[in-house]
Amino acid sequence: MATAIPSPQSPVCLRSSSRFRLYCSFIFAGILTTWLGSLLPWLSARWSLSPAAAGNLFIAQFGGSSLGVILNGWLLAKAGYRNTLALGLALMAVGTLSLLAAHPSLTLAGLALAGIGMGFLIPAGNLALAQASGRQAARALNWLNLAWGAGALAAPAWVAGLLRWRHPLLTLALLALAQLGLGLALLWDRAPWPVLTPAPLHRAITRRWGWLGLCIFLYVGAENAAGGWIATLGRAAGLHRQFWLWLPWLFWAGLLAGRALASLWLRWISDLRLARISLVVAACGFAFLMAVQQLSWLLAAAMLTGLGLAAIFPIILAQIPRAAEAENQVRPADPLLFLFGGLGGAIFPALVGRIAGWRAAPAHVAAHLRGAMLLPGLALAVIFWVMPRLPSAPRGRNL
């Protein structure tokens, strides 16, 4: 077994109270990342937005998120993890209150600020926990991304409650105040946090850094292709509405369950081995989506795909501190790796749509969509080939 290179400084282990605040911040990030899908009908009716104008809301939020990721390395180097997380929560709170603006342009500006906040918070939270957790990084990141998933699942219920209340200001104000309060709690947290390792950009961007970026690009693309099109696949296959709506729910439920189980499995097998097993399971899920048409098999395929994808992303992120010359280091260039995820999340679903709709009559959309599931399956095959080239975790029990 290869001996790990010692870190030039002792790793900082986050206290349980700091981790709890970090998990809570990711629940809010999960809500805000996915809330537009549920809010769009309400916002469109409120301002009589055309589909093209409503699409600008997504551009504002996720364009802001990309800008936040670009600025993240510089901000982390100047302010550190704790202050960056607090600033991200404050910007997300502004975006929450902007939903009550009297003009859509103000909401666009607020959503852009919320996106910048998410671009600060999500990379900073993942990298801080990965750096602080050492050999247990994969397990810790599974729980962190499980918290994000819980927020994503809670978003539709929160929006439904918002629309039922006669005074939505109260609901939005409570959410914004909770985010601001959590940000203040992070600012008052005087427990030690990890710090970035200074490194020139040309030294930080290495071949292994490139492999990590490729894996993040392919994984996020595959996940978004499945999550974005699986309900349409069921609808095109002729399923009744109450059944095709179950497909995305089972996909995300499988993803959350898999991340919870992965934290247990990592006690007995290495993260690299679990990642490759998960890739095979997810590939089987995509194969079933391509092959089956019966309701029960489609539901099982949706859950199997989510279950297989669950552990892959946290394990990839856990390799980032190991890509440096010494373990437990994160450098200012590393947050830029999350830009690859944004590109994958935009490109892969669009490609699936082009494949499914390319000269396809409506009756043939289901068959074309099933064929398009080959694209994320191929992405997983590439990750399977790349994974051994990533900096691997020490073998044995990750206790």
Pairwise CA distance, residues 130 & 295, whole Å: 40
pLDDT at 398: 36
The crossing angle, in degrees rounded to 10, of helices 51-97 and 337-357 is 150
Q: Residues with Cβ < 8 Å from 3, sequence gap 6 or more?
A: none
Q: Residues with Cβ < 8 Å from 173, sequence gap 6 or more?
A: 97
φ/ψ (deg, to 5) at 98: -65, -15
Which overall architecture, per CATH, does domain 201-389 show? Answer: Up-down Bundle (1.20)
Most confident of 13-17, 136-140, 303-307: 303-307
Q: pLDDT, tens digit, for every residue of 252-262?
A: 888 888 888 88
Say if 16-188 and 201-389 have the same CATH topology: yes
The neighbour count for residue 170, using CB atoms within 10 Å, is 11
Pairwise CA distance, residues 258 & 278, whole Å: 9
pLDDT surpasses 50 at 189: yes
For residue 66, give the nearest of 27, 122, 106, 19 by alpha carbon. Answer: 122
Domain ranges of the chain: 16-188, 201-389
CA distances to 175, 193, 212 from 196, in Å? 31, 10, 18
What mean pLDDT comes out for the span 283-312? 88
Q: Residues with Cβ < 8 Å from 371, sequence gap 6 or more?
A: 290, 355, 356
Whether 211 contacts 386, CB under 8 Å: yes
pLDDT at 112: 93
CA distances to 53, 82, 144, 266, 395 from 77, in Å? 37, 11, 23, 32, 32
pLDDT at 7: 41
Q: What is the CATH number of domain 16-188?
A: 1.20.1250.20
Phi-psi region of 238 (alpha: psi -120 to 50; beta: other; left: phi over 0): left
Three-state secondary structure call for residue 166: coil
Q: pLDDT, tens digit, for every residue of 72-127?
A: 888 988 899 999 999 999 999 999 999 988 888 999 999 999 999 999 999 999 99
What are the DSSP E strand ranges found in the chain? none
Choice between 392 and 329, residue whose per-residue pLDDT is larger: 329
What average pLDDT does the structure give for the chain?
82
Environment class of residue 51 by beta-carbon count within 10 Å: exposed (0-12), middle (13-18) or buried (19+)?
A: exposed
Choice between 280 and 359, residue whose per-residue pLDDT is larger: 280
Sign of the alpha-carbon dihedral angle for 343, 57, 368, 248: positive
Residue 51 confidence class, pLDDT cut points 50, 70, 90: low
Confidence (pTM): 0.78
pLDDT surpasses 70 at 328: no
Helices (H), 98-206: 104-133, 137-164, 168-188, 201-204
φ/ψ (deg, to 5) at 99: -65, -20
